[in-house]
Every structure is written in C-alpha cells, then in structure tokens.
Structure 1
Amino acid sequence: METGIGVVVIGRNEGMRLERCLASLAKGADQVVYVDSGSTDGSVQRARSHGVEVLALDMSIPFTAARARNEGFACLLQLCPNLRHVQFVDGDCEVVAGWLASAQAFLDGHPEVAVVCGRRRERFPERSIYNHLCDLEWDTPVGEAKACGGDALMRVEAFRDVSGYRPGLIAGEEPELCVRLRARGWKIWRLDAEMTLHDAAMTRFSQWWRRCIRGGYAFAEGAYLHGYPPSGIGSANRCAPGSGAWASRW
C-alpha cells in the first residue's frame, strides 16, 4: 500500500550502520534513495543489495550534507512525483518502527506544520562520555520548536516552498532551513515519540573537539546569514538531533 512517504538517506563509509539504517526502512515508505559521498567501504553495493535507489555524488563538486539531501530529494521526486512527505535520515541512524506512520499522521492533522521530528537516542551512550553527551543533546523539548536536525519528516510542499537546503553550508543547514520555513509561516514540531537510534562512535576527545569547531562555525555563519533575534539566531528550543548544541540559539 502506498504511503506517500519517500526517504533520503545520506552517508559515507557507514559500514554496518548503513546496513541497520536501510533494514529499518524496509517497510513504511514508497521509495528510498541513498546518496553516497565517495564511500570506499562497499556502501554503494550494500545499498543496492537492499533494492534502494543509489545516487553517487559527483565529487568534483564540493560535498556538503545539504547538497546531498537536496540531490537526494530531487532524485526521489523524479522517481515518485506524487510523494507528500520526505524523511531525511543520516546513514548512521536506524529509524524506529512506527515512526514514519506516527509522524505522517501528525502532519496530516496539522497542515500548518512543515517538519516533525522525535527523540533520537545514542545506541551506545555508555561507551564514552562523548556518546553520552550526544545523547543528552538529543533529548530536546517536546512541542513547537525553532529548528530540526538531520533526521526529520518534512512536507514536500514546504521543502519546495523554500527551495530546500542552502547547498553551500558545511554545517548548520537544518536550523538555517527552519529559519526560512518559519519566515514563510510554517511551523516545526518535536513529537513525544521515538524516532531514530544514532551511532556516534565517538571515543576520542579529538572527535568531540572537531564537532565543537563545526558547531561554532555553523553558529557564526548562521548569524551572518540571518542575524540575531527576533528573526534569526536567538534563544530557542531545537527540535531534533543533528543540529549540535549551537542550534539551541537559532
């Protein structure tokens, strides 16, 4: 039975994490597109073995997650032009059973909402303090929010309304998208529902430090693009994981 939902998965060298991600999407969506950014670990072959559409990015063009999601969205709509909703998910995440249906039901009942997201959890929070900190960050307030992260179900109409992600952003593309959505009158919502399991695999301080640098850069570029409160970056609830702690200020 057609659901009207398509999924865009992005990743690079995710290994078994991609296997879990694609297996979790075996039901509930009409079409899945995997966007690969130069993997060398057999991810493309792994994705094809699941029967999903694979889009290998042209790596002569600078890669960003925003660009990958936009190109995946375009591919998805070429394959299934009548889709109503698209779930974006990172390849290191497993989508929880029932999430797609519950998120879609919320959008169907709330036409003013463009984006819904739920609780992302770390798969192994006990393995390092950095994984644990990520898990705490993912525990965002329930209700109307100002931003979403990399995992979210979006209304196709709304995504098109703002021309998708800003492809040149190297980080912070999700809150930046949400600033433009809210400017167009759309709402962002965090549901009290399990959404994804994320495997950060972060065991070293250097990994955490690089993440912090990216977060700081994203905050600075977001401020440059959209300014400070009330229209741009300010004290606000973030909706979903993937944005980093800086997103709490969008």
Structure 2
Amino acid sequence: MTVAAVVIGRNEGARLIACLTSLAGTVARLVYVDSGSTDESVAEAHKLGAEVVELDTRLPFTAARARNAGLTVLDGDTRLRFVQFVDGDCEMRPGWIATAEGFLSDHPKVAVVSGRLRERYPQATIWNRLADEEWAVAPGEVKSCGGIAMMRLDALNEVGGFNPDMIAGEEPELCVRLRGAGWGVWRLEAEMSWHDAAMTRFSQWWQRCRRAGFTYAEGVAMHGGRPERHNVEKLRRTLFWGLGLPATVTLGALITPWAAMLGLLWPAQILRLRGRGLRWSSAAFLMLAKFAETQGVLTWVWRQIRRRPAQLIEYK
C-alpha cells in the first residue's frame, strides 16, 4: 500500500468509530488528529489501532492545523505516495481508496482527487438535504476539492501543505497554490464517502453559510487578483443579493415608494433557480443563504479593521 489516511475530529463519538473502522485494512498507516475532544475519541482511536496526535490546546484549533499535524507524522515514510484526508464525521465507501490510488498513479500530474460525497441522512432535515445537494458536483477536472480527498504527498510538500491560519476554506486555497505549481485537481464519479452533518437547527445551517461568506472574503484577499480571481464571483453574488440589493431597496424607498419594486428581484431569482431544476425550498434557502454569507463577509472585514485573529465559526 502507498496510501496513508489522516482523520481529524473533535467529540465525534460513534461517528469517529465508524470512520476509522471504514479505513481499517485499506491504508498503510492510519493517523487520527484530535482537537481537544472531551469524549472518548482519543481512547477509541487507540483501540482501533490509529496513530493518535493530540493538538496543543493552548493554540487555536483549525482543520488546516490538524491536517498539517497528521502530515508531520508521515514525514520520512518512503513507502507512502498519497494521503487520504477524512473528517471524523465521515465514513469511507468500499473501494474508494483503491480507485483514488489507481487514478493518481495513472495521472502523475494530478495532485488531488475526490469523489461523490453524500449526506448519510439527507431526509432527516432540510439542512442535511441542502448539504447533500451542495456536494452534487459534476465529475472532471475542477478548481478545488473539499476536506475529503486523496492527495499526492510530493505535491503537498512542494507547496508547503495547508495554511494553518485559515479557519475554513483551506482546501480550495491549497488547490489554488497546487494549480499554480502546475498540478491538476480532479473529481471522479465514484462514491467516496458518507457524511453525517447532523444539522437539526436553522442556526446550524446559518452558521455554516456564515462561515462560507467569511472564506469568500478571505479567499479574495489572498488570491483574488488575476489570473486566479479566487472566490471573486462568489463574493460578488453574495454582496449583491445580501447587501447591495437590500441597501438599494431601503435607501431608494426613502426617495420613492417605487424603489420597493426592486425587492421583486429576490422572488424572480428564486423562480430562475427553480427553472434550473432546484426544488422550491432549495432555491429559497439558496437566496436566504446570501444574508448569512454577507454576515460572514462583514465578520471578516470587522476582524481586519480591528486586527484581530480569526476564530472558528462552527455549526456543531
């Protein structure tokens, strides 16, 4: 085997056990990086034969920092060529490791490969279903991946791994640097993993969208220039629907009541999204998400003004 797995998590309980069990026997080394769990995660990982790394709790936790810590454990192991990154709330699908390893072996200029990620309980709540729909991305060469992906160790070492200061969006940012170095990023049709978002409240979904907006702003600040234009279009859409249009309607109404008619652009956009095949509820929440994303953008701006370090925006 030429593949190792790095699993990151905190207080995932039974989900972590399922995650580690799904990887047993499929990788050469299994590393679990724990970010301050207060449950039995560390003990269970030891029982399942994982190499366990416990992050220093005096430093801020980020997924990027945890993944880099896992990579450090693998340094110097000449058997390894690839690493599968997994979040502790995911369960790998049978056959994925071999499929991804084979693809990377056959495509030496590809650094990252991912497959179909599915929500385990999409019908449990509308929030879970929205996440599952978000992950339905067409296969082929893509610009970025999510947190569940297999990567080439040589490529990761070349660009310096993940940016540990990012509270989210570290995978697309890494992919920007990888593509800039001449590497490719691919998504396959193959089933890769189950994910258990466990979102049962509106507030969880809102926080998840808010975090996305934060990463849009940060991504533009880091790589928004040409030729990459990273997250520029996402940020534009967010600010138009979540800030620009509301401000125009509100200020315009002070001049003429007809300005309120501009508010019809929101239902018109929902109709447009519905016409593209989305459910009514999905289209409506996609528009509502722009307000949460805008809040995330403003959070990033405020922290830049105050010169305060970013803090995790967690939804569970």
Same fold per superposition (TM over 0.5): yes
| In 2, Cα distance between equivalents of 1:33 and 1:53 | 5
Distance apart, 1:99 and its partner CA: 0.3
Please say if 1:103 is aligned against 2:90.
no
Please say if 1:90 is aligned against 2:83.
no
Equivalence for 1:63: 61
Instruction: State the identity as a percent.
Output: 57
1:146 to 143, 162, 166: 143
Greater helix share, structure number: 2
Q: Which protein has greater RCO, CA pairs closer than 8 Å, 6+ apart?
A: 1
Distance apart, 1:140 and its partner CA: 0.8
| In 1, Cα distance between equivalents of 2:227 and 2:135 | 24
Distance apart, 1:182 and its partner CA: 0.4
Distance apart, 1:76 and its partner CA: 2.2
Aligned residues: 236
Distance apart, 1:228 and its partner CA: 4.4
| In 2, Cα distance between equivalents of 1:41 and 1:179 | 36
SS of residue in 2 equivalent to 1:124: coil
- Are the aligned partners of 1:8 and 1:76 in contact in 2 as well (CA < 8 Å)? no
Q: Which runs of 5+ in 2 are unaligned?
A: 235-288, 294-316
Equivalence for 1:176: 173
Code of the residue aligned with 2:79 in structure 1: it is N
Instruction: Evaluate the alpha carbon distance shift between residue 228 and residue 204 of structure 1 in structure 2; reply closer, same or farther with a 3 A threshold.
Output: farther
| In 2, Cα distance between equivalents of 1:77 and 1:123 | 33
Q: How does 1:192-231 map to 2 (within 5 A)?
A: 192-228=189-225, 230-231=227-228
| In 2, Cα distance between equivalents of 1:207 and 1:178 | 27
- Are the aligned partners of 1:32 and 1:76 in contact in 2 as well (CA < 8 Å)? no
| In 2, Cα distance between equivalents of 1:195 and 1:62 | 30
Distance apart, 1:81 and its partner CA: 3.8
Please say if 1:47 is aligned against 2:7.
no
2:120 to 113, 119, 123: 123
1:186 to 157, 161, 183: 183
Code of the residue aligned with 1:8 in structure 2: it is V
| In 2, Cα distance between equivalents of 1:4 and 1:77 | 14
| In 2, Cα distance between equivalents of 1:49 and 1:26 | 12
Please report the RMSD computed on the Cα atoms of aligned residues, expressed in angstroms: 1.6
Distance apart, 1:229 and its partner CA: 5.0
Distance apart, 1:191 and its partner CA: 0.5
Code of the residue aligned with 1:145 in structure 2: it is V
The 4+ residue runs of structure 1 with deviation greater than 3 A are: none
Equivalence for 1:32: 30
TM-score, structure 1 length as denominator?
A: 0.91
Instruction: Evaluate the alpha carbon distance shift between residue 229 and residue 135 of structure 1 in structure 2; reply closer, same or farther with a 3 A threshold.
Output: farther
- Higher Cα radius of gyration: 2
Instruction: Evaluate the alpha carbon distance shift between residue 211 and residue 86 of structure 1 in structure 2; reply closer, same or farther with a 3 A threshold.
Output: same
TM-score, structure 2 length as denominator?
A: 0.72
